[in-house]
Structure 1
Amino acid sequence: MLKAENSLGIIFFPAFDWAISPTHPEREERLLYTQDQLREEGLFDIEGIREYKPEVAETLDIERVHFCFPEAEAVATRSHYISAGGAIKAAELVMQGERDRAFALVRPPGHHAMKTVQGSRGFCTINIEAIMCEYIREKYGPKRIAIVDTDCHHGDGTQDVYWHDPDTLFISMHQDGRTLYPGTGFPKEAGGPKALGKNINIPLPPGTSDAGFMKVMEDLVMPILDDFKPDLIINSAGQDNHFTDPITNMNFSSQGYAALNSMLKPDIAVLEGGYAIQGALPYVNLGISLAIAGVDYSHVREPGWNPEKLKETDEIMDYIGTLCEGVKEIYFNPPTKSNEGVITGNWSVRHRNIFYDTEGFTESQTESLLLCDECRGLLKVETQKENGPMGFGIEIPASACDKCRNTGYSLLEEAQVKSRYRYMQMINRKDKDYLRYGF
């Protein structure tokens, strides 16, 4: 009988009652075929691998991470709460020592959901990895966390959530944004003024296959992780780099995904994208599960896999080698100034227009970080949905000094007096004080 080298918990949530539309790529069948495959292959007959049911996240879990306007309950459905709860369940299995590792096979996904949420974009509404990570920090204390996003699309939402956090290393390896949604994720996006070099983007050329991804892992990702020394490694496990995916242009395989996870050794993996529902997801999920558990995955084969035919050109490999050297420099010798935002007095200010492609509206946002010599700084957000009311958010980080904490409350009181904003929200991680006002 096979035995897992690392005990593994797998959490399923296909979200039977939720889809953007009945024929949309992000629908329940994404996990139904995987469920069948894992059971048919006898995954749960392996000693040490066990299936678990998800929990249901609370509104507080969401509001610990996001400014939600008008409120979390208005933008997120019950399925979103359970998807986030599935990620939290994975975290609890690992943090409490019941399992060595965990894989949350849940939907809807979340890595395009930014700090401020007014609807859905890129099939995502709330950021389930960030909700999980901040749940861990709230319950188990400060942690250095590395999130390695292997989705084919740049994880712009996770990047935004952790843009100012020096204790979270975000690494996104994705198809070049010049060729794919959301059009971001370039090396120059290195992080906010207090977290420069902690945001690592690796935009790969279309046609990248197993050899290219493993070169990135060996030459770039693993050296950075060895230096950062995270307490936890999270794989934001998007699977749309697969060579059969209908909406991307990469040539990764189930063997490649398994080898990547075997090298990465994530404590927790959380499913993100992947839309080749029958020909890829069941095999990729099986390969990842076996790799994380430390079980031989060499027999996993999806239909149509031909390594020689899928192999990238020498030109692509040369390009990836040059890219790795340049990106490595950004981490080990970060720039002295963020390329986004302008300094206005004691504030670093970014003005942005964020398009919610799933729902077809634009959010106008001004984000301001108070530049503090004693802590990572107070975050202020002013936002307006297209033709809608204004929202105001204040975040006091867990490490905030007394000056930033007091300034945060003063700004909130001032906003209430002005009555300029219909919706206001405070995230006070220092005192675990979470406030929301609406008119």
Structure 2
Amino acid sequence: MEVGFIFTEQFNQYNFGSGHPLTPKRIELTYDLMKAYNLFENPNLKLITPRSATEEEVLRIHKAGYLDKLKELNNVGGSPYQAFPKFGLGPGDNPIFPGMYDAAMAVCGASLTAADYILEENSSRSFNITGGLHHAMPEMASGFCLLNDAAVAIQHILDKSPNGTKIMYLDIDCHHGDGVQWIFYDRSDVLTLSFHQDGHTLFPGSGLLDENGKEEGKGYALNVPLLPGTIDSVYINIFEKLVPEIMDAYRPDYLVCQLGVDTHFSDPITNMGLSTSGHEKIFKIINQNVPKYCNNKFLGLGGGGYNVGVVARSWSLFLAELLGVKIGDPLPEQWLDSFNEKWGFSQEEPPTEFRDQNWHIEEKQLKNPYWENELEDRADEIVKKYEEEFIPLIKKSE
């Protein structure tokens, strides 16, 4: 099965500057690891050069006034401390940088390129690791996201498809996929499902169980807010129970998935407890269910992840899963040399194994066996809510 992989050497355009968590090194070192494992040489992989988005395509989601402001700031040479709070731009999450409009349009274009690929009759899988900027709102930037490429790609698929087409958006980033949720909150042709760290403990503060759509979209916005520290076993158990049931109830024509990996226990800005081994199991569940429920049509997007070594390893695992190949330890020496040269000890400790385990969590379990019960109790409460209320509502509506 051929996989369309969106590849560009222009990945460093989207660059908020030194010290920002969303460093372009994430993409560069992921490419390096994929190359070191010869994934780009796989006969089932098709490397695709992305196009840029058009204004018309982006304006299907974003407001003209906001897009005009991004264009105005594209060639800015002024102070990096300049701020436009109305548009969510300025010091902090979304600092202004030269070429920001071009960079945002390029990311959207890469996701549109991935969408165009799966719209082809005989193409079923595509992956754009530069995408997944799920926080941007129609009229403003948010959480490192200037434009919401996920929403733009979803709307593009709907525009190019027959009436009645349905899309399921699955988001596994540690942060709630709020931008995509609110954009499609009153619609039933897009079902959003976000697994994330509880919004009471993490930006953007949303994604609670009772946020489940309005008007025509009532019941089609779904959230799974998990407690900080949730471990592989608890996460995978609830994921394996709910995702196939929701797919079966909704029967989407396409699955669009945001694959943020900041749920890893070592991520510097989140508090979840997954490992790269856990990520691989989650990826397998997703990939195994696409042929059953989504007409075998899948669009994968990148997303969060701020431990660079984790991003490279986990997204390489996902691409390998799509290609049906097995890769593993030891990590290639040439990639470790590249990692140390480009990122190195001054930024984060280099990884020592491809599929890691969360030993810190196991130690915590031994010291406090009741702690895991809290995680499981939360997961059980969520599953009960879904099985008794949310999933029956979708089935009734369909």
Aligned partner letter, 1:197: G
**1:160-199 pair list within 5 angstroms:** 160-199=182-221
Residue 237 (structure 1) shift: 1.2
1:274 correspondence with 2:305 = yes
Kindly state the Cα deviation for residue 292 of structure 1 after the two structures are TM-superposed.
2.2
- Asked whether the equivalents of residues 146 and 171 of structure 1 are also in contact (C-alpha less than 8 Å), the reply is yes
Q: 1:289 aligns with which of 305, 314, 319?
A: 319
Instruction: Report the Cα offset of residue 298 of structure 1.
Output: 6.2
Aligned to 1:207: 229
Aligned residue number for residue 382 of structure 2:
323
What is the SS of the residue equivalent to 1:10?
strand
Aligned to 1:46: 42
Runs of 4 or more consecutive aligned structure 1 residues displaced over 6 Å after TM superposition:
none
Q: Which of 256, 265, 269 is residue 247 of structure 1 equivalent to?
A: 269
Answer whether contact 1:64 1:134 (CA < 8 A) is retained: yes
User: Against the structure 1 CA distance between its residues 303 and 97, is the aligned structure 2 distance closer, same or farther, given a 3 Å change threshold?
Assistant: farther
CA distance in 2, matches of 1:36, 1:17: 18
- Partner amino acid, structure 2, of 1:283: R
Specify whether residues 42 and 132 from structure 1 end up closer, same or farther in structure 2 by C-alpha distance, changes over 3 A only. Answer: same
2:3 to 8, 21, 26: 8
Contact 1:224 1:328 in 2 (8 A): no
- Asked if the contact 2:276–2:357 (Cα under 8 Å) also holds between the matched residues in 1, the reply is no
1:113 to 132, 136, 141: 136
CA contact (8 A) 1:196 1:334 kept: no
Q: CA-to-partner distance for each residue in 1:350-371, whole Å, 9 max, x for gaps?
A: xxxxxxxxxxxxxxxxxxxxxx
Give 2:158's aligned residue.
137
Q: Which amino acid aligns with 1:196?
A: K
Partner of 2:352: 303
Look up the equivalent residue of 1:112 and give its one-letter code. Answer: H
Please report how far the alpha carbon of residue 263 of structure 1 lies from its aligned counterpart in structure 2 after TM superposition.
1.4
Corresponding position: 1:219 with 2:241: yes
Q: Rg larger in 1 or in 2?
A: 1
Q: Counterpart of 2:384 in structure 1: which amino acid?
A: E
Cα distance, 1:213 vs structure 2: 2.0
CA RMSD of aligned residues (A): 2.2
> Deviation at 1:232?
0.5
How far apart are 1:157 and its partner, in Å? 0.4
The percentage of counterpart residues that share the same residue type is: 28
Higher alpha-carbon deviation: 292-301 or 221-230: 292-301
Paired positions, count: 326
Task: List aligned pairs for 1:144-163, cutoff 5 A.
Answer: 144-163=166-185
Query: CA 1:297 to 1:209, structure 2 compared with 1: closer, same or farther past 3 Å?
Result: farther
Which aligned pairs between 1:359-398 and structure 2 lie closer than 5 A?
none
Q: Per the alignment, in what secondary structure is the counterpart of residue 147 of structure 1?
A: strand
- Per residue, is there more helix in 1 or in 2? 2
Q: TM-score normalised to the size of structure 1?
A: 0.70
Q: Distance in 1 between the 2:226 and 2:6 partners?
A: 30
Amino acid at match of 1:103: F
**Contact between 2:245 and 2:391, CA under 8 Å: does it hold in 1?**
no
Query: Within 2, Cα distance between the matches of 1:8 and 1:328?
Result: 34
* C-alpha contact 1:149 1:236 (8 A) present in aligned 2: yes
1:102 aligns with 2:126: yes
Contact persistence 1:190–1:198 (CA under 8 A): yes
Q: Secondary structure at the match of 1:217?
A: helix
Task: Return the structure number with greater strand share.
Answer: 1
Structure 2: gaps (5+ residues):
72-99, 291-297, 332-350, 366-371
Q: Secondary structure at the match of 2:135?
A: coil
**Paired amino acid for 1:272:** G
Aligned to 2:52: 56
Match of 1:34 among 9, 30, 33: 30
Structure 1: where are the runs of 5+ without partners? 1-5, 336-439
User: What is the CA deviation profile of residues 22-48 of structure 1, one whole-angstrom value per residue up to 9, with x for unaligned ones?
Assistant: 220112111010010000011122220
Shift in Å, 1:88:
1.0
How many angstroms apart in 2 are the aligned matches of 1:53 and 1:289?
17
